[in-house]
Structure 1
Amino acid sequence: MQSRMNKAIVAALGAVALIVPMAACGSSSADSGNSLTVYSYYNKATMDPVVAAFEKANPDIKVQISYGQGDSEYNSTLQTRIAGNQAPDVFNLNGNNRADLMNNGAVADITGAGYLKGIDETYLTDYTKDGKIYGMPISGWLAGVVYNKDLLKEVGYDSVPDNLDDFAALAKKLKDKGITPFLENGQEMSGSLIGLLGSYYASTGTDGDKEIYAGKSTFADQWTKAFEAWNDGFIKSGALPQEATGLNADQVKQSFINGEAAMYRTGGWDVADIKAAGVNYGFSPFPAYPGSEPYVDGGADPAFAISAKTKHKDAAEKFLTFMNSEEGLELFTTAYGSASVSSNYTSDIDEQLKPLYDDYFFKGKFHWVSFEKGSTAMSAEVIAQQQGIQGGTTTPTDAAKNLDAKWSSVQ
């Protein structure tokens, strides 16, 4: 009889991906009256309740909001509007557009603004340049390892081990029972790899990514050991099967929900589906780099920013003030399924996920990679190198060197 592990891979690879065409949308800044143009990274379901409440609290301001359709489309449309002198009054900075927009003077300096009160500087760091703040994130995300408690119990475990050796031992026991140990989306940067990278940086006391961006270090110096640990703990151990290299997020989730995979990398965005499927689940951080402490993936969500050329500064500032109010935060984080990073509101977080926020995210034990240059090309290169390691065609040492070569090409 075919094992559950093989069924997970075969079923997932056989799934049909549905591609939904998405149209770009945008509107130009209005020059008259008290209208406010907002171009949102967040979708209509998330922002409509917020806008309605804002307009009710500010009846003299009419919000004209339009929405992006995914990271790439959002960023390209925003750049086009800014280049055409039709920048929205308020827009969002994210990991792939923030460096360019902060560097080219498109974003207003909001350093010292009263509406930033309650947001710890930890979450403002990504939206700060040369000591000046340009974006206001109000929520944060994290991802860790979600696990099926019943499947782990079958092999004698109550939770996911916090070190790589014991994690590899768990993976072997699961494999021996025909259960796929661990899966993750193979079409994006590996969350388990980046969790290990953050854990490695914690052991060195330095954010190696920032050293690379500043020209003070290299990927060979900073990433090789994390690549090696990932290769040993996840790949050579068989925890992350080679056959799963190309799986997408939905395929991975379905394997877990079907009881074919015991663990996978995800965050709060999948909790509703996991609950609906009746899975007895828990969350844990990623296993730690040897000699360090566990980390999760995470960071501040895309920040709200004001155009440097806005003609409606007062209205824009009122909008950001509302976003960081108790009412705005509750509406936004509830609709988006994220956690507030502002002391002005405490989000209601899933009880299984809450320990990861309390013990890791809110204590700064999280990491994610946001390249300051050539983000699209660099992300694609990381994916190519991790797939090479997973497939046995690339060594950790060569993978890091290849990232250095790509980094040089995008300068």
Structure 2
Amino acid sequence: MKRMFLISILILSVVLSGCVGSTSSNSDSGTGDGKTKISFIHWRGEDKAAFDSLIADFEEQNQDIEVDMTIYPSEQYQSTAQTLLRDGSTGDVFTSYPGSHFEIIKQAGLFEDLSNEDFLENYNERLILAGQADDKQYAVPLQLVFNQPVYNATLFEELGLDPNPKSWEEFLALCQAIADAGHTPIAFPGADIGPGQFMNSMMMNNAPEEDIFDKLIAGEAKLTDEWWVKTLTQFKELNDKGYLGNGALGTNHPGAIAMIANGDAAMLATGSFAVAGIKEINPDIELGLLAPITVSESEAVWEGIHTTTFMLAVNAKSSKKEAAKKFVSFLSEKENAEEYANKTSQHVTVNDVEYTSEELKSAEEWFEKNTRFQPRYLIPNADVEKAVIASIQAVLNGTDPVKAAEDSQKIVDQNI
């Protein structure tokens, strides 16, 4: 027990030393002037300026509450949020990813039930389902994200390219035209989030059933089946043809963002959440969204991928739940969600928000398209999710797709 305690302390100290930003280093329950201090933790470093402004407005309206915001790198946040939340001293308000991350925190009993809160009426009820379980609303997704490639619309127009490939052959032809013009077709951050993001649109029509990962966990489907081997084979084809650029597995997301912002690459294989980072480097660039179609036009079921994420939640272990709920309620108000959306170039799940940026306006067309919820977030087991992603990395590192699928299926079998 003593050893486990020391390990927990070590983990927590590493987490706290890796913070991207914080409004304060003091996380006591009081501020010395009678105010209640609440801790707000999340992973969106690019949203700091927007949240700083919103927090200032909230504190002006609620002068008895102070918000201490701390931001962690996304990968670190996913792996350590449960440790941070456990004693209730950190993360009175926190954010969660959907899928296995949400499930882990739920099983630990760290979500406060928000089912009876009035602010739920502000949201599109269809878009907050990812925060529901056991007939309760444990969290409210604030962001509506499209997890499919962002493309340089300025470059596409210059090259006369159609950003609507209707088959795998058309997508390959699009990539080849970009390569022929001297640009990298796809900036692929294989060193961090690329495999886990691009897999969604790459597999959406190879396995159009939305419960495919439920079937995988139940043993009714396997990674060695055609749907996943085909997906891995298509990843290999993109890589072998040079469409993912040189050293894709060594490219991180900031590097990939710079590639598209500077015009070196035509597409970025992550999602709409990267728009703010691209625009920060190149404010004049025009951007759009597209998705690879990996089957023939007649076989295509889905047009793209969406996710509702950045799920706002209140820590069930917190001693300041009422103040925490006031802050979540504030972020859920239309005018505040609107400010957040337009300052961060993120669509939101709050009703009747008016988007002012051209990128957000242009992407509204995807609200009407036949998009599917991100498949990766429907994998309830974190080890299985890692195995799925590892098979992509293995293929990009030279492993035969069939062998990569077999190796990852062994890990799936161990977990089910």
Same fold (TM over 0.5): yes
Write out per-residue CA displacement over residues 229-250 of structure 1, whole angstroms, 9 at most, x where no aligned residue: 4445x34554334643322223
Distance 1:158 1:23, change over 3 A: closer
Provide the rounded CA distance (Å) in 1 between the counterparts of 2:341 and 2:306: 16
The answer to which of 363-372 and 285-294 deviates more is: 363-372
1:367 match: 374
Of 46, 53, 67, 1:49 maps to 53
Query: What amino acid is the match of 1:133?
Result: Q
What is the aligned length?
384
Write out per-residue CA displacement over residues 172-217 of structure 1, whole angstroms, 9 at most, x where no aligned residue: 333344433222111224333321223344x33x331233345554
Distance 1:403 1:242, change over 3 A: farther
Of 315, 324, 330, 2:332 maps to 324
The question of 1:246 aligning with 2:246 is answered: no
1:184 match: 188
Distance 1:147 1:331, change over 3 A: closer
1:7-406 equivalences under 5 Å are 22-23=18-19, 27=27, 29=29, 35-41=36-42, 42-43=44-45, 44-59=48-63, 61-75=64-78, 78-95=81-98, 97-149=101-153, 151-152=155-156, 156-187=160-191, 188-190=193-195, 191-201=197-207, 203-204=208-209, 206-213=210-217, 216-221=220-225, 223-232=228-237, 234-235=238-239, 237-241=241-245, 243-265=247-269, 266-270=271-275, 273-274=278-279, 277=282, 281-290=286-295, 291-351=299-359, 354-360=361-367, 364-370=371-377, 375=382, 380-395=386-401, 397-406=402-411
Write out per-residue CA displacement over residues 83-136 of structure 1, whole angstroms, 9 at most, x where no aligned residue: 335354322222463212111211111124221113234432322222221001
Do 2:29 and 2:38's aligned partners in 1 also have CA atoms closer than 8 Å?
A: yes
* Local SS of the residue matching 1:317: helix
Query: What amino acid is the match of 2:200?
Result: I
Distance 1:332 1:316, change over 3 A: same
| Cα drift, residue 316 of structure 1 | 2.7
* Local SS of the residue matching 2:228: helix
Query: What amino acid is the match of 1:98?
Result: F
* Local SS of the residue matching 1:194: helix
Provide the rounded CA distance (Å) in 2 between the counterparts of 1:342 and 1:390: 39
Distance 1:131 1:398, change over 3 A: farther
* Local SS of the residue matching 2:215: helix
Query: What amino acid is the match of 2:74?
Result: D
TM-score (norm: length of structure 2):
0.77
Do 1:324 and 1:344's aligned partners in 2 also have CA atoms closer than 8 Å?
A: no
Provide the rounded CA distance (Å) in 2 between the counterparts of 1:259 and 1:82: 42
Identity %: 21
Distance 1:393 1:26, change over 3 A: farther
| Cα drift, residue 29 of structure 1 | 4.6
RMSD over aligned CA atoms reads 3.5
Distance 1:77 1:386, change over 3 A: closer
Distance 1:327 1:215, change over 3 A: farther
Query: What amino acid is the match of 1:67?
Result: T
Gaps of at least 5 residues in structure 1 are 1-20
